[in-house]
Chain A
Amino acid sequence: MWQMLGLESKYAYATGRVRVLETRLLDRGRIDRMIDAPDVEGALKVLAEAGYAGAQLSEKARPTVDDIVSGEEERLARLVRETTPDPRLMEFITARWDFHNLKVMLKARLHRVPPEKAVARHGTVDLAVIERAIEGETRDLPPHLAKALGAARAAHDIRAVPETIDIAVDREMYRYLLAGAKSLGIQYLVDLVEMEVDLLNLSVFFRSRRMGRERDMAAEAMVPGGKISPLRLIACYEQPPEAVAAGLAGTGYEALARRAAAALAAGEPLAELERLSEAAMWEGIRKARYVPLGPEPLIGFMFAKLHELKLVRLVLVGKISGMSRESVRERLRDAHV
């Protein structure tokens, strides 16, 4: 009988909470109101109405973007911690922050940039531990991060540009997340991580071609583990753009590849690729909305909220730096509604 219920009963509480919280996610209308607000305070007011505790205006000082985003990240982490019966699910949020912090701090060390502003505050690994590991004392660093650090250093030794650190750490991160998703046995989560990998590889594929990079360089930037093997993508690398979609037949990304290839052939910007990638990702995330009970609603919400925070950061930074509404809108993608 318990098998009959399985994960459904374990995640019933989480599903209930998420169903309410989904109604508080920023919809297109609210994002538009933020963009159209005459100033930053107006945008913060919209956020405060949507339940962003950190966006409340006080007389003392205006909250910073980092404070607002960090406060919401903390709330998301608390939600997952309180509702998931499997603590390993937490890793899907915190591991991203840990890997991000590793990247930021390593790049800062090797390229002498101050890292403080860009670090995620709620990773599970103390920043001092990462700092010491970068200096060579890796004893306290979890093995998955130590492996990423080693790979990033090795890649950077060969080609000393910050991009190599991003590529090496991302590769280790997705490898780690994929293994974690598989060990949790939640197919929806595996599908989402695989889709992230595929979309990243497709982006690398088209951007590398646009920049006229060598095939080997593009191959090095690709991450294994998605539904499309990097080898299959690389096999299409030197084909004419119109043949790329045919080369990806049966993967589910043909339409995306066709549009991106058309933009590539016409010498147009690849913004359409980004938009289609986001749309594909949301299509995957939205599947959770049709699952009545189980881990999927919680996982879908995690991905949706992290995406929302990216949008919020983008809009607020745009407002603060005085970007025009059109430019901010241009940089935004579809919100999870």
Chain B
Amino acid sequence: MGVTVGMILGFLGIALAVALPGVGSAVGVGLVGSAGSGVVTEDPDKFGQILLLQVIPGTQGIYGLLTGFVLMMKLGVFSGNVLRLTTFEGLLVIMAVLPIAIVGWLSAIHQGKVAAAGVGVVAKRPEELGKPVTFAAMVETYAVLAFLASLLLIMFGLPLKGVA
């Protein structure tokens, strides 16, 4: 059983779905972590509130991983019988993961910036934590929409049959 170009494209799709939002989340979480470390250096009591802000940009990485898992199931990776995709099917897989790959990547970075700015709010007015959390959560909307789009495309929009 040889490897088809479609299989390579399919695996590339999985890699994109997992890697790009993952990198974005790592950058976003790192940014909030750096700002948060600065606050905690001066005021260790704020650790809990800052941790809450720090996890927010991490969700895109989870969406990307979930998308990757669903795609792996669809391609039969877990059953050990990987579907031998045609080139066009491989391209369709890539198209299907693009929403979460691109939006997940960029939105995580921007959400990280918003959450890191929120760290400044917590530093000065810890009682106002809800407001920076809400601002950061607004960015999440677009990551969720992209995740849904990719998921629906993979589950219902990919008529994968492969080649014999």
Find out whether the CB atom of B39 lies under 8 angstroms from the CB atom of A19: yes
Q: Which residues of A contact B113 (CB under 8 A)?
A: 5, 8, 292-293
Among the interface residues A16, A17, A21, A83, which one has the most CB atoms of the partner chain B within 10 A? A16
Taking the nearest CB of chain A, how far is it from the CB of B47, in angstroms? 12
Taking the nearest CB of chain A, how far is it from the CB of B132, in angstroms? 10
Find out whether the CB atom of B124 lies under 8 angstroms from the CB atom of A15: no
Q: Which residues of B contact A14 (CB under 8 A)?
A: 38
Tally of A-B Cβ pairs under 8 angstroms: 73
Find out whether the CB atom of A18 lies under 8 angstroms from the CB atom of B38: yes
Contact of B35 among A5, A12, A22 (CB under 8 A): A12
Taking the nearest CB of chain B, how far is it from the CB of A263, in angstroms? 38
Q: Interface residues of A: mostly helix, strand, loop or mixed? A: helix
Given the known interface contacts A5-B27, A292-B116, A293-B113, the answer about A20 and B35 at a Cβ–Cβ threshold of 8 Å is: no
Given the known interface contacts A19-B124, A22-B124, the answer about A9 and B31 at a Cβ–Cβ threshold of 8 Å is: yes
Q: Which residue of A lies closest to B32 (CB)?
A: A12
Any A CB within 8 A of the CB of B127: no
Find out whether the CB atom of A19 lies under 8 angstroms from the CB atom of B34: no
Q: Which residues of B contact A12 (CB under 8 A)?
A: 31, 34-35, 38, 116
- Name B22-45 residues within 8 Å CB distance of A: 23, 27, 30-31, 34-43
Contact of A16 among B23, B30, B39, B109 (CB under 8 A): B39
Cα distance A4–B124 when bound, in Å? 27
Find out whether the CB atom of B34 lies under 8 angstroms from the CB atom of A17: no
Any A CB within 8 A of the CB of B119: yes
Cα distance A15–B119 when bound, in Å? 9
Contact of A15 among B27, B35, B40 (CB under 8 A): B35
Any B CB within 8 A of the CB of A13: yes
Find out whether the CB atom of A20 lies under 8 angstroms from the CB atom of B116: no
Q: What is A's interface to B at a CB cutoff of 8 Å?
A: 1, 4-5, 8-9, 12-23, 83, 292-293, 297
**Given A12-B35, A20-B39, A292-B120, 16 additional A-B pairs, CB 8 A:** A1-B109, A8-B116, A13-B38, A15-B35, A15-B120, A16-B34, A16-B39, A17-B38, A17-B41, A17-B42, A19-B39, A19-B123, A21-B42, A22-B124, A292-B116, A293-B35
Q: What is B's interface to A at a CB cutoff of 8 Å?
A: 23, 27, 30-31, 34-43, 109, 113, 116-117, 119-120, 123-124
